[in-house]
Amino acid sequence: MRILHIGDVIGRPGRDVISAELPGLRDRLALDFVILNGENAAGGFGLTRVVANDLFACGVDVLTTGNHWLDQREILSFINDEDRILRPINYPKGTPGRGANLYQTRSGARILVINPMGRVFMDTLDDPFAAVGAELDACPLGEGADAIVVDIHAEATSEKMAMGHFCDGRASLVVGTHSHIPTADAQIFPGGTAYQTDAGATADYDSVIGMEKHEPLQRFTKKISTGRMTPATGPATLCGVFVETDDKTGLAKRISPVRVGGRLIPVVPDL
């Protein structure tokens, strides 16, 4: 199976590069499934129904989220009914939405997507390792699912890497989101799980992690907030991680970063 995970989409520039580049990438990489972190897709904060539907129309199969999933309160009106949108799995019992779900590709293959959120320098939530472990036990790779992807939305690189090793041999891909900068550590762990600490943001990189530069610079240099941060509006780079799995085991055969458009050096794997 060929899977593309796309990092945090920031506002309209991020959505525009998805619209421009994702259909071609689906064909070029012969993708079976596309996962996109959409928690910053609506104006840089949260997700609306219109934005979600636009991303689905571009070829996205599932939207993951993170700590900004509830910034647009509108999401509460549809997240229970839209199983293609996940919120962090380790929120308390009774929180609207779901944190994991089993999907089917166009060819009939089964893919489990799990969306935990870290706790280091983040909100205090339930244990993400216990939540992910329970899902992996309930739907084992190669038995209940043909592929498993874990989007660990976390601040600390150590917590993301720990999740990768925790899932090694039991998931196809563990990829981090939230930090908005693509890391250079794409690898396959000894047990066969592909891993990258952060997929990066799909955003304008002439920015501060996707946001227009003035406001964060004011906050860093003068300790003064002059207004709400807004997405930078220049050409965006689509950043993500491509993984190809073994059809028999569900483990990774190949992993590669993907970068298309905007300012960053482009990378698209050859098939």
Q: Which of 5, 68, 153, 180 is catalytic?
A: 68
d(CA 192, CA 172): 7
How do 238-245 and 187-188 pair as beta strands? Answer: unpaired
Strand runs labelled E in the chain? 2-6, 33-37, 62-64, 100-104, 110-114, 147-153, 173-177, 187-188, 194-196, 238-245, 252-260
Q: Angle between the 128-138 and 157-167 helix axes, to the nearest 10 degrees?
A: 20
- Among residues 98, 85, 87, 105, the alpha carbon closest in space to that of 3 is found at 105
| DSSP state, residue 112 | E
Token code pair at residue 242: 């491509």
Active site residue 165: no
The structure tokens 């491509």 sit at 242
Name the amino acid, one letter, at 256. S
Nearby residues of 249 by Cβ (< 8 Å), 6 or more positions away: 141, 142, 192
Rounded-to-integer distance, Cα 160 and Cα 175, Å? 8
Catalytic residues: 68
